[in-house]
Amino acid sequence: MNIAITRIDERLIHGQVAYSWSVEYQVNEIVVVDDEIVHDDMQKMLLEMAAPKGKSLQILSVEQAADYLKGSENKTVFLVVRTPQTILDLVNKGVHFDSINIGGMYYKEGKEQITKTVYVDDSEKQIFKELASKGVLLDVRTAPGDKSIDLTTKI
């Protein structure tokens, strides 16, 4: 299994994810990892409708994804999650990431804006620092052609 790109985006699959990112990285499968959505038939149906034609879609829990991503299938995967906690949970279950892309983490009460499209709270800052300490490059870009910003320079 080749994880071509891993992205944190609260919207999961939308136009940019479905087309810009999946085309740029030549993926043949999108894997959504979310412990809540995996049990929500309506959200799963919406994600299935948003997934681009010609790309398979997996919607998995953290536990399922940890096993699935360690598989030997010949697939190039775009992994997308809503929160940095999901990434940390996967890392703690043995999934390796060289880098992750941080995209849409939007404003909520108690969050601080650190880039145009990324707002974080103290807990998320700590998670990102822990991921960085494990050697994960934290790349902030909204679209594939954007200039990369190293998140560690902002937290």
pLDDT band at 4 (very low <50, low <70, confident <90, very high): very high
44 burial level (CB within 10 Å; 0-12, 13-18, 19+) = middle
Residue range(s) defining the domain that contains residue 10: 2-153
| Number of structural domains the chain divides into | 1
Q: Give the whole-angstrom CA distance, residue 62 versus residue 84.
A: 12
Residue pLDDT, tens place only, 12-58: 988 766 778 888 888 999 999 999 999 999 999 999 999 888 899 99
pLDDT of 136 reads: 97
Active-site residue 39, yes or no? Answer: no
pLDDT band at 143 (very low <50, low <70, confident <90, very high): confident
CATH of the domain at 85: 3.40.35.10
Q: Which of 4, 10, 11, 14 is catalytic?
A: 14
- Average of per-residue pLDDT across 103-109: 92
